[in-house]
Structure 1
Amino acid sequence: MQIDQIPLDRLSVSKANMRAGKKLPDVSDILPSIIKRGVIAPLFVRKNCQDGHYEIVAGKRRFYASLEAAKQGKEALTLPCISVGEGDDAEALEISMIENMLRQNPDAVTQWESYTRLVKEGRSVEDIAATFALTELQVKRILALGNLLPRIREAYRAEEIDAATVKHLTLATKAQQKAWLALFEDADSYAPRGNQLKAWLFGGASISVGVALFDVGAFGGQIVQNLFEEDGYFADADAFWAAQTAEIEVRKAAYLAEGWSDVQIMPPHEHFASWEYEKTPKRRGGRIYIQCRDNGEVVFHEGYVTRKEAERVGKDDSGGVADAAKAARPELTSALNQYVDLHRHAAVRTELAARPHVALCVMVAHAICGSPLWSVSVQEQRTRNDSINESIETCTAETRFDERRRAVLNVLGFDAEQPSVTAQGYGDRSLLPLVTRLLGLPETTVLDILAVVMAETLASGSELIETLGITLGVPMTDYWQADQAFYDLLRDKEVATAVLAEVGGSPVAEANAKEKGKVIKGVIADCLTGDNGRAKVEGWVPRWMAFPPAAYTTRGGVATVSAAHRAAWMVESQAPVEPDPNIPDVADKAQTGADARGEAETKDESDAAQSAEAEEERLAA
């Protein structure tokens, strides 16, 4: 293999290159090293029809980075190249794909485009799988993206749609895809995703072929094949259940023939609660329970009787069965127990309503631990975008909040490394010990704990965020400054130009209006950092991030602005009704209750004193 140094002006990008296209590649990550040391890894080229010229099969990004380096003054640039011969386009494309996959993983849509081109060039699925060390199923899964509408593919490429959703959309008809796409592009509608999309496409819970008890080969109904999973799905649930039920009856007859006393079939809406049954062998009257589930799965529970049946019989030393002694009759009936519980509950909650500090401690414990009547969720601080996650994790606000959370965890005796004070689910933490702990703390400390719990469970993007931001006077300039994630996500040129006008002035924005978005964002960064001779702008945040928020254009689509408008409307349209002056307020009621308890205690003490005096007089007589 020979490596030749070929001048830049004799190279061009081949149409067979995997990354061939009008869009210029992003070379910002490799440009500095190429300016400093040149291109080290050779490009793959083949001779062009023009004598002495070559076209690049693999190495487009290095080529464009070298062109940019030449523009910046690097002289006499030549590139190390390996000539691959004058094969057909399919061979050139294979080389391009192998080289690119080893360097920068292409997205699934780009792979689909390239695999499709290989198929058109005459390559079979088996050939592609062997070339790229993939299974045939993996290749078919990529090619299945061809079943999608172009708009859906582009949304997937832009990471607007997750892989699970795309997987199910490949099974949809074009009409279903158009209907889903209409929901996806409508800001006021909800487009189902993931498993919800599967149910939306199949009209309910999809039933996998893998749960069938009967011979699928002899099944006369339609089966939808899914390249992304081992099994397909039954298109007609009624046809599936007809065949499944027939096979269940066959299994039931077989159990009875084996000598089981009874076989009971449980419909999908019934659940086999194992704690309500006791394991019992066939010779002692155990029966079979056949549990059918909504997803088509059938579970056979062999040798069980109910707990009540088991309690009615006892086992002697030899293992025989004898009647057990009659269970002792409980002191209270269930109805009387309810009567007692509700009366005690009414008394306790009346007293609790008059003791705000105790109620505060109990409420905080409920918010942290949950209960059968309380369900509180922590607002997740993560997305599918890693750069956004890193930005949030390292921001000033999250760092300060983490300090408060750790302090609260320490006060409560919890592990300081836990991600939240609020439990992730009911039952994760015990309620009663926490109530006892809180009752022993000063009220100011309990309020500090409550503040952290409320902050953890505050819904992101809600109207309440807008109201609280203004009420608290949140200074976003103290908590945010532009980072790389912000610049990466600022992709709209019109918006970027408006931002530049705001931080750099209208003359600067007009001078750069025709530049590429990357250049505009670079000037914005210079204005915010004071680099490259720009005056540094202090204390700036985008309009959408301030309280109250605003937009740069009239196009809409700014979630914070929409939430602020909704919040203002809700406050105006649902203003609280003024209290009735004839009804005493809570404070008066609490004071009245306290006075009544005080008077009762005083009266009790007076009566006791009088009784003591009367007893002394009686004894003296």
Structure 2
Amino acid sequence: MELKHIDIANLSVSSANMRGVAKKPDLINILPSVRARGILVPLIVRPGAEDGGYEIVAGKRRYHAALAVAEEQDGIDPLPCAVMEAGDDAAALEASLIENIARLDPDEVNRCEGFTRLVREGRSVEAIGLTFGLTSLQVKRTLAIGNLLPRIRNLYRAEKIDVVTMRHLTLASKAQQREWLALVDCPEKHAPTGAQLKAWLFGGSAIEAKVALFDLADYKGEIISDLFGEDRYFAIADDFWTAQMMAVEDKADAYREAGWSGIVVMERGAYFNSWEHDRCPKKKGGKVFVSVSHRGEIAFHEGFITMKEARQRAKGEPGADTSKPMRPEVSAALGNYIDLHRHAAVRASLLSEPGVALRMMVAHAIVGSPLWRVDVEKQRAASDAIAESVEVSASEVAFDVKRREVLALLGFDPETPTVVGGYDGDHGVAGLFVRLAALSDGDVMSILPVVMGETLAVGSAEVDMLGQLLGTDMRTSWQDDAVLPDLIRDKPLLTAIVGEVAGADVAEANAGATAKVQRGILVDCLTGSHGREKVEGWLPRWFAFPPTGYTERGGIGCVERSERIALLFVPAEAEEEPEMREAA
């Protein structure tokens, strides 16, 4: 470093200063000394972006004290400074940290932020520890504070939680942190702190059912319900862990089949720390790390290798944790040769057996396979009122009747909610295929519409495509005089709909009325109440195929999707619709 005196006008606080730029420092215990003797300890600075300017890396309090004295005394002598080389942000940050930690330990959140910036600048945990005289464990503990949600860090800074509580919360997942904050916000509940918080985090044997990776319907153990809440718990923790770890192994096998080079299941309670791992994609040998919390939560971290392995790879050394697999009977190339030829032969055999192919397709759609993932449309509703209006509609009732017929035809449990995923027999796809092989072509064809209907995505272009192709008329299935009017809150939209239902004169006369009044008029017209004539067969424009809107504002999902597929319905194709339906 070069020692020199620099005019205070040429100095400014660097962004690398650990105490920040915006916050004004406390000068109570330093200002009297600066008034009496000036600046004795040099500031640590580096050349700034402007010619002749310097950024203060360490010495922000001395600088502000000098500014105060300069204002009181109408000037001050140039300040003694130690000038660093330009451009090394990590070195500058280290200098700032060292000086501040030596003078007065900053709070742990500030120290964490400083260490985190050093890591981003390329400093390793070990190097940070050597620089500041800390063990690697101490550095890691400080970095762990960065895993806390910002609000928790702010609670600590505001001294609303103690340091023990803050440290225990570094052991919590983000979900646990949010759950703890919810307890803080609830006046009727107590948020655990200190030693109680640690016990709460580990959860004892009270493991919630929602953390299970496996299907609860297949769980043979006992699950206890909270009669005064919505949560359920596993009665015997050992039974849960047996089922949970089997599900983890199944998931690990799926990752292996997908081409991941390694699956690392971490010890229960061990935390996955991102600063101890390096990003690495699957095609370059990245692994999947599986963290298992004491509360049963499982997290899959895809595409990482340890920092040790990353350093070994950078040096061209073989990874120490790469295990050598036992040599199988056939090589990968030979196995691929065998599988491809078997596949080609069976595929050719299917060409002359469309009935077999049809049944195999239905079995795949219902059960699923590595290449077939068919999800049931959940029909999630924004409110209970919307859900009920759909459930009692004529369309949904008709579909449910047909679904029950198919369940009986396939020999499924009659209480099974859906055909897709409803097969609980042995041997998966092959087991269901045997059942389908015993059915006639007509019976198999009757299953297809239900399977397709259950897996038809809500809000998709396919709904609009089929609605137009099949000539769906919602007047035969939709009727609602309660839920829909209550959902329409926009005044211009309400006015347009009232005009369509009650007439332009009524709409114009009530244009200035409240939305509640206009909704009342709409309901009266649909029900024939309060002296208004009942309007029969009205269908909102959104329910037509193709749909349209009432205003020029747009933002109607079904209209936008219908417009995107409009080019598919050219006149020549429209004439072929009966043949298309027949083919379907």
TM-score, normalised relative to structure 1: 0.41
TM-score, normalised relative to structure 2: 0.44
